[in-house]
Structure 1
Amino acid sequence: MKNGIWFILAAMSLTPALDGVAKEMSLTYAPIFICFTRYLSAGLVSLAAARLRGERLRVERAGLGGQLLSAALMMGAMTSFIMALSMVPMAEAVGGFLIAPIVSTALSVIFLGERLTRTRVIGSLLSILGAVIIMDPGMGLEQGTLLALAGGAMLGGFYTVSRAHRAASGTFAPLALQSLMGAAMIAPLALAEGVPAIDATYLCWAALLGVLSAMCHLLTILAFRLSEATVLAPFTYFNVIAAVAVGIVFFGEIPGEATLSGLVALVAGGLITAAGPGQVSALLARLDVLRPTPVSVRVRVPVSVPAR
């Protein structure tokens, strides 16, 4: 399996916990302030990790435009998502983000010249189908749904920009720079309504949000450095599988037939994409060989001619 796939699977497995923390905080704090908290704390966590690894936080003029664009897309996507969480159910908000891999794939083919093979198309379509079956997002265009769709489009753009800047030096330093830039962009809006009480509860939520966010974004960036967006697209829906698993383990939610069908489609889409066209063709050929060959048997029936 391609290296980037492991990273995207790990990143997507963290998103249900990240979304749950943001949803819980939205009961007490304004969505825009939660987003500011998320990226400020993620930036500080990444900055501390960069210092421990000896990475220097440098803003190079040549790559400044790409870093600003990446930070703006990341911040816009997450702000839209957190605001959507406060307006619509989580399934509907996550459902809007299902367009992110589609946008990323299209942009990567157009601007980065990535190849879109038949197996990647089939894998992506199967994964999209499975995610839609499981999430069952509503068809109404509420304000929260539109925000989620806009956030999904911006997240797809962030994936593409991350792929385009895969040669960036360092691991934690670029993430710290992006997160702190994003926090600075949104700070005026977040602080305009006043600062809530900074107590022990808020600090615990902020620390948890920062650690989870930093880990999720770091794994995503590494994934898109190592593998093409068209390869990773089906695996960005793994967060849906993780959400179903969390429901089973912690809440005793037994999936129904529709959910199981969606899971099968998701797994099939990922396996087809990971295997590649050569392995899929070989597997189909092997299955064709194993198919029983019809055997024709000639039976001679003696015919008795009556005597005259």
Structure 2
Amino acid sequence: MSATETILPKENIPRAMVLILIVIGILGLQDAVSKLLVQTYSPFQVTMMRYWAFAAFSLILVARQAPLRQALRSKVPGWQVVRGLLLMGDIWLFALALQTVPLAELQSISLIYPLLVTLFAIPLLGERVGMFRLIAVAVGFLGAMVIVRPGGLPITIGAGFAVASSTLYALYIVVTRKVAQMDSAPTSMVYASLIGLVLSTAVGVFYWQPIWGVDLALMVLLMFTTTVGHGLMMLALSMAPASVLQPFNYFSLPWAIFLSFAMFGHLIDPISLGGAAIIVAAGLVVVARERVRKVPQIIDAPH
């Protein structure tokens, strides 16, 4: 599930931009299908089955390039394990948040992760962050407070799960930057796949419910979108640097707003939409400043 910045000799940035927009559409649909399923099935079961598809895809992909035993040779296995645990925790918490938090508001809160990455990179990576980026981070958090204001999104355990999910994902991104300096992308992918596969299955089997009919079709669709979405993301990253594609992640918000209304009849209120716009603006400022400073960018889709 990790995709670090990749620049290949034959770049095709326009095609990569189109691909990343398709990826955002596919993974937004994945979130909507997940939300449908977690109303009936445990988030742990849904996450487990999603991970089965992702792990199969990742391990087959890596095995085609080199023996898996070779990919498991990490210079920093401890950090790789931490990274896998963070990603697994992020996906579990996001699935739990999906049970109660509307899709649009959940996606808005999720977009605070680039701001958190900026903060976590200071102690974990030793990065120096200027006043301009710190102000942007503060403004972004203000946008999040607008969404959970009195009369807005209720401050429930679901909202807490959403914030915790974004926090773990930000830590995952920072740790991924750290291990990318020492391990290859296939090594990072294998560790994330195996750790997630083992953990999600170890927990998910205790929440197993039989799946039939329409729900089974939805589960197959969920596993399909997971695999195709990440496959196309890797293809996009082979055509353009992550620093170019990163801003397109923010198109996930209007897509989530549309899906939330079309599939669940929920329309985000204007004030919360304003808060979401503040988060997006602050995040774009941080991304732009990091691009100028040549901070390594990572595109990943934890949810």
Q: Is the 8 A contact 2:105 2:147 kept in 1?
A: no
- Greater Rg over alpha carbons, structure: 1
Match among 29, 32, 36 for residue 20 of structure 1: 32
Q: Which residue of 1 aligns with 2:221?
A: 205
Q: Is the 8 A contact 2:72 2:190 kept in 1?
A: no
Q: Which residue of 2 aligns with 1:56?
A: 67
Q: Which residue of 2 aligns with 1:45?
A: 57
Q: Which residue of 2 aligns with 1:149?
A: 163
Q: Is the 8 A contact 1:135 1:240 kept in 2?
A: no
Q: Select between 182-191 and 249-258 the one with higher mean Cα deviation.
A: 249-258
Structure 2 CA distance for partners of 1:274 and 1:23, relative to 1, 3 Å: closer
Query: What's the TM-score, normalizing by structure 1?
Result: 0.66
Q: CA RMSD in A?
A: 4.5
**What is the distance in 2 between the residues matched to 1:278 and 1:29?**
41
Residue 121 (structure 2) pairs with residue 108 (structure 1): yes
Q: Is the partner of 1:47 in helix, strand or coil?
A: helix
Q: Select between 266-275 and 246-255 the one with higher mean Cα deviation.
A: 246-255
Structure 2 CA distance for partners of 1:114 and 1:257, relative to 1, 3 Å: same
**What is the distance in 2 between the residues matched to 1:93 and 1:278?**
27
Structure 1, gaps ≥5 residues long? 280-308
Q: Select between 26-35 and 238-247 the one with higher mean Cα deviation.
A: 238-247
Q: Is the partner of 1:116 in helix, strand or coil?
A: coil
Q: Select between 28-37 and 176-185 the one with higher mean Cα deviation.
A: 176-185
Aligned-residue offset at 1:97: 3.3
Query: What's the TM-score, normalizing by structure 2?
Result: 0.67
Structure 2 CA distance for partners of 1:168 and 1:212, relative to 1, 3 Å: farther
Q: Which residue of 2 aligns with 1:194?
A: 208
Q: Is the 8 A contact 1:77 1:151 kept in 2?
A: yes
Q: Which residue of 1 aligns with 2:42?
A: 30
Structure 2 CA distance for partners of 1:243 and 1:61, relative to 1, 3 Å: closer
Identity of paired residues, percent?
24
Letter in 2 for 1:114: E
Q: Is the 8 A contact 2:43 2:92 kept in 1?
A: yes
Letter in 1 for 2:192: Q
Structure 2, gaps ≥5 residues long? 7-15, 293-303
Aligned-residue offset at 1:36: 0.8
**What is the distance in 2 between the residues matched to 1:275 and 1:88?**
30
